[in-house]
Amino acid sequence: MTNKTKWFLSLSVFLTIVVICTPIFFYVKDFHELQRSDNPSDWAAFGDYFGGILGPIISLLTLIVTIIIAVNLSKIERRNHEEAVNSSVKPLIEIEDDEFFSSDMTRMNPSINEDFYDYSPPTKPT
């Protein structure tokens, strides 16, 4: 792992923690003097608050990470492709027959003498 990657990863983790802790801080700051509630609807409002704030933020962070992974994977694949194209090592076996991987059955001229889709009930052995 390069220093740039370590720095970016550390910054990302720090920013994620700050983003997640910010709504908690504001909630505690505004409602710290209130008693803990035994009413389930109060706890539902509490969950809605955090879900409404943190859900989109976490989704955005996930999208950013997915884009970063896709870009890095594309760079790796491009580098591997260039290495394979410019490599002096050639495959041991080359397949030159075009029909080897063909899925076109009409080229093989198959002949079917019986109807495979006809159903006949099984017979009892004698």
2: tokens are 């390069």
List phi, psi (to 5°) of 36.
-65, 135
Q: Are 23 and 54 within 8 A, CB to CB?
A: yes
Closest-CA residue to 75 (of 5, 10, 6, 15): 5
Q: How does pLDDT run across 2-51, given as a tens digit for each residue?
A: 788 788 878 888 988 998 888 888 888 887 787 888 888 888 988 898 88
Please answer whether residues 53 and 23 qualify as being in contact, where contact means their C-beta atoms are separated by less than 8 angstroms.
Answer: yes
Q: What is the largest CA-CA distance in the chain?
A: 89
DSSP SS3 for 2? coil
Contacts of 99 (CB under 8 A, 6+ apart): 107, 108
Sequence-distant (≥ 6) Cβ neighbours of residue 61 within 8 angstroms: 16, 19
Poorest-confidence range of 21-35, 69-83, 99-113? 99-113
pLDDT of 77 over the 90 cut? yes
Read off the pTM: 0.52
Distances (CA, A) of 45 to 15, 16, 39, 58: 26, 24, 10, 19
